[in-house]
């Protein structure tokens, strides 16, 4: 399927490329590099090669519009590559080596990259496993979809097993070299960047085996580099009527999903990675010890939940190499859509429906600007009224879908809904949902050549209209264009804030900062699902309080006393003494190590 889409896209992009006028693609993540290759030439190439090309924004937009029509959802993620920093050219090998030189650090017990490289090359005799190729060092430090440009790693190791990971961790520990895990590369908050002192990136995408499907128990054992899409496609191909319902970015892997505490559109019905979907995980600790957090039973009250320690830990406490995942029955699904006078009416309708127990699988909101943009994008089968819109997914038998639909239609009518439509067949469901998926594409194409900053905050559902109203006011005041879409059933807000240059980028940063603070003020969180990375660290103390952050630091310090696992991410920097009365000295992980990123 991907191959076929790639063929279609290659036609459009080749045409676009011939009219090239400006550099458009920039250094991309390894998976994206692969997809960009396949977009332009339908030949599978190594995911480890980097690539640049030139196309005009217009030609890119039309090529993708064509591709979306033919290919659909899988391209959303390719399109997001456009949101990367288009102003930064791919760095040369020399530039990368300038940024992170491999130098002898002397005999003191500090980070010794040269010795680490020597040991890795001795340990892994296959020369393709350990890489210092500058393109790879750069590519594995980024997510192509994110606004954050990462610092290149010093070494990338393409591991294939838990044992390989143990070897790397022991070498890292021996030479005090930080480690950054990489799986799908779709995270959005600067989670993959190297610390300034240099690092080994452990590429887990090669741990891609589905090890055992226990159909009667509805669970699956798989390696950490398996993508959720591949898992679900495999179940489908095997005729097993089960699926894994966590649905973040398309190329996200189980290891990355666990580590970011992900969720997605299905969270309304199925919850998040913090629920019961991860039955156990096999984890390599910073000591090099391997633990399996639990057995395979559906539930256990044997002590506290160690698996959860690693959910949302962003690779700072351990490296996940395997997991057992709970699966859900695959049920027939239908899609409905309705328009509302404004966001507040739409959100109130959602609260009403959810509190009365309607069997919703998903409910997504997009604002009137997003609808306008979608209409202009031209891939939709219909021209939507330019109003705040809800997209619903119902799940169950035909009868139960009809019953839910009748209930929803009557409930939302009280909130001013118009144009309610339940898809009449599978194809129409797919088409309508595709419009929701295409929102990101459409928004990027709205201002050709621009980049987009994807925000992610979450508030109690009833507070969402207040958040959105404040955000819209900020966007207007700052003169920014920012279509809004979100998982309204969970109060999860995303806006794609568009910017063309550094001046606009500064305004975007101000807007994003205001939104984060507003979400926390409304009893919400600065990150509903994308994690903390480097982008959200500064908000944690306000959101969680000093005591909670101090406890997180204590756990980190205990497991990783040298701060080698993904340093500089998640935990806020240590505050000046006047602000840290509540924090004991032992919590201050970042000032005693050579590896902390400020
Ligand atoms: C278009 C788009 C849509 C998205 N939509 C959603 C959404 O709806 N919901 C959502 O939750 N997210 C969404 N995301 C964000 C992203 O898909 C998630 O954060 C995802 O869980 C990241 O998984 P990954 O495999 O790509 O991890 P990576 O990006 O490779 O890594 C993420 C973090 O986890 C660490 N890590 C990776 N693998 C391991 C491992 N095996 N062990 C320990 N640590 C590890 C990394 O060091 C990093 O800190 C979206 C992203 C994009 C681009």
Tell me the pLDDT tens digit for each residue of 574-592. Answer: 654 444 443 333 333 343 3
* Residue 221 contacts residue 322 (beta carbons within 8 Å): yes
Of 256, 246, 250, nearest to 276 by C-alpha is 246
Please provide the average confidence, as pLDDT, over all residues in the chain.
82
Statement: the pTM of the whole predicted model exceeds 0.85: no
471 CA → ligand 1 middle, Å: 25
Predicted pLDDT of residue 357? 81
Of 57, 76, 71, nearest to 8 by C-alpha is 71
248 CA → ligand 1 middle, Å: 7
Percentage of the chain surpassing pLDDT 70?
Answer: 78
Mutation to probe ligand 1, out of 172, 193, 259, 559 (largest number of atoms < 8 A from CB): 259
254 CA → ligand 1 middle, Å: 9
Tell me the pLDDT tens digit for each residue of 458-489. Answer: 999 999 999 999 999 999 999 999 999 999 99
Percentage of the chain surpassing pLDDT 90?
Answer: 72
Predicted pLDDT of residue 30? 53
Confidence of residue 359 (pLDDT cuts 50, 70, 90): confident
Predicted pLDDT of residue 506? 97
Among protein residues, the one whose CA lies closest to atom 13 of ligand 1: 248
**Residues contacting residue 231 through CB under 8 Å, at least 6 positions apart:** 210, 220, 222, 244, 254, 325
Predicted pLDDT of residue 79? 34
- Cβ neighbours around 402 below 10 Å, total: 14
447 CA → ligand 1 middle, Å: 27
263 CA → ligand 1 middle, Å: 10
| DSSP for residue 224 | T
Ligand 1 binding pocket (C-beta < 6 A) is 76-77, 80, 143, 145, 180-188, 191-192, 204, 224, 248-249, 252-253, 255-257, 259-260, 262-264, 314-315, 319-320, 529-531, 566, 569
Residue 49 has pLDDT above 60, yes or no: no
Q: For ligand 1, what atom is nearest to the CA of residue 180?
A: 47
DSSP string, 21-55: -SB------HHHHHHHHHHHSSS---TT-----B-
Confidence of residue 26 (pLDDT cuts 50, 70, 90): very low
DSSP string, 451-497: EEEE--EE--GGGHHHHHHHHHHHHHHHT-B--EEEEGGGTEEEEEE
Summarize the confidence of residues 260-280 as an average pLDDT.
96
256 CA → ligand 1 middle, Å: 5
- Cβ neighbours around 273 below 10 Å, total: 23
* Residue 374 contacts residue 383 (beta carbons within 8 Å): no
Predicted pLDDT of residue 574? 63
Residue 285 has pLDDT above 50, yes or no: yes
Summarize the confidence of residues 402-428 as an average pLDDT.
95
Residue 397 has pLDDT above 70, yes or no: yes
Predicted pLDDT of residue 110? 81
Predicted pLDDT of residue 381? 83
Measured CA to CA in angstroms, residue 251 lies from 14, 181, 392 at distances of 24, 16, 24
Tell me the pLDDT tens digit for each residue of 484-512. Answer: 999 999 999 999 999 999 999 999 999 99
CA–CA dist 278, 327 (Å, integer): 10
Residue of 357 and 107 predicted with greater confidence:
357
530 CA → ligand 1 middle, Å: 7
CA–CA dist 491, 482 (Å, integer): 18
- Cβ neighbours around 471 below 10 Å, total: 24
Alpha helices in 81-161 (DSSP H): 93-99, 113-123, 134-139
Q: For ligand 1, what atom is nearest to the CA of residue 570?
A: 49
Residue 536 has pLDDT above 60, yes or no: yes
Alpha helices in 293-397 (DSSP H): 306-309, 343-355, 368-377
């Amino acid at each position: 399927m991907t191959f076929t889409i790639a063929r279609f896209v290659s036609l459009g992009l080749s045409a676009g490329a011939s009219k090239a006028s400006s550099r458009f693609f920039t250094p991309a993540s390894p998976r994206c590099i692969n997809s960009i290759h396949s977009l332009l030439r339908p030949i599978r190439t190594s995911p480890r090669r980097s690539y640049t090309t030139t196309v005009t924004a217009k030609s890119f937009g039309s090529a993708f519009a064509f591709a979306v029509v033919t290919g659909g959802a899988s391209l959303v993620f390719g399109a997001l590559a456009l949101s990367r920093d288009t102003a930064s050219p791919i760095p040369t090998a020399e530039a990368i080596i300038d940024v992170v030189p491999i130098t002898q650090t002397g005999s003191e017990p500090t980070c010794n990259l040269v010795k680490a490289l020597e040991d890795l090359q001795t340990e892994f005799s296959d020369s393709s496993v350990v890489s210092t190729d500058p393109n790879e060092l750069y590519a594995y430090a980024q997510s192509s979809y994110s606004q954050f440009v990462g610092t290149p790693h010093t070494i990338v190791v393409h591991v294939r097993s838990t044992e390989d990971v143990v070897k790397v961790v022991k070498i890292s520990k021996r030479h005090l070299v930080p480690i950054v895990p990489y799986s799908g590369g779709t995270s959005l908050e600067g989670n993959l960047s190297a610390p300034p002192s240099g690092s080994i990136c452990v590429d887990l995408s090669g741990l891609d085996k589905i090890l055992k499907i226990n159909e009667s128990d509805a669970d699956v054992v798989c390696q950490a580099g398996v993508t959720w899409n591949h898992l679900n496609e495999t179940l489908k191909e095997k005729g097993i009527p089960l699926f894994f319902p966590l649905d973040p970015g398309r190329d996200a892997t189980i290891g990355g999903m666990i580590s970011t505490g992900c969720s997605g559109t299905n969270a309304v019905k199925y919850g998040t990675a913090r629920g019961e979907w991860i039955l156990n995980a096999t984890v390599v600790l910073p000591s090099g010890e391997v633990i399996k957090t639990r057995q395979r039973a559906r539930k256990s009250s044997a002590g506290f939940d160690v698996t959860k320690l690693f959910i949302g830990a962003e690779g700072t406490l351990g490296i996940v190499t395997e997991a057992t995942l709970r699966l859900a029955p695959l049920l027939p699904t239908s899609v409905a859509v309705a328009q509302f006078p404004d966001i507040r009416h739409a959100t109130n309708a959602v609260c009403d429906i959810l509190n009365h127990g309607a069997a919703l699988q998903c409910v997504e909101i997009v604002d009137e600007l997003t609808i306008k943009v979608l209409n202009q994008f031209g891939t939709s089968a219909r021209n939507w009224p330019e109003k705040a819109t809800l997209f619903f997914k119902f799940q169950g038998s035909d009868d139960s879908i009809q019953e839910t639909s009748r209930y929803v239609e009557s409930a939302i009518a009280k909130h001013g809904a118009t144009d309610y439509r339940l898809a009449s067949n599978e194809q129409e469901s797919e088409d309508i949902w595709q419009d929701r998926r295409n929102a990101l594409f459409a928004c990027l194409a709205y201002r050709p050549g621009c980049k987009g900053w994807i925000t992610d905050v979450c508030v109690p559902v009833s507070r969402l209209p207040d958040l959105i109203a404040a955000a819209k006011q900020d966007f207007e005041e700052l003169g920014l264009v920012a279509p809004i879409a979100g998982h309204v059933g969970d109060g999860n807000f995303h806006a794609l804030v568009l910017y063309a240059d550094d001046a606009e980028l500064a305004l975007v940063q101000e807007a994003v900062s205001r939104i984060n603070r507003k979400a926390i003020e409304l009893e919400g969180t600065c990150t509903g699902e994308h994690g903390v990375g480097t982008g959200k660290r500064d908000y944690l103390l306000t959101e969680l309080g000093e005591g909670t952050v101090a406890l997180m630091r204590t756990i980190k310090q205990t497991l990783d006393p040298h701060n080698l696992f993904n340093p500089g991410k998640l935990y806020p920097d240590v505050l000046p003494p006047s602000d840290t009365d509540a924090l004991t000295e032992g919590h201050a992980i970042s000032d005693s190590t050579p590896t902390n990123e400020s």
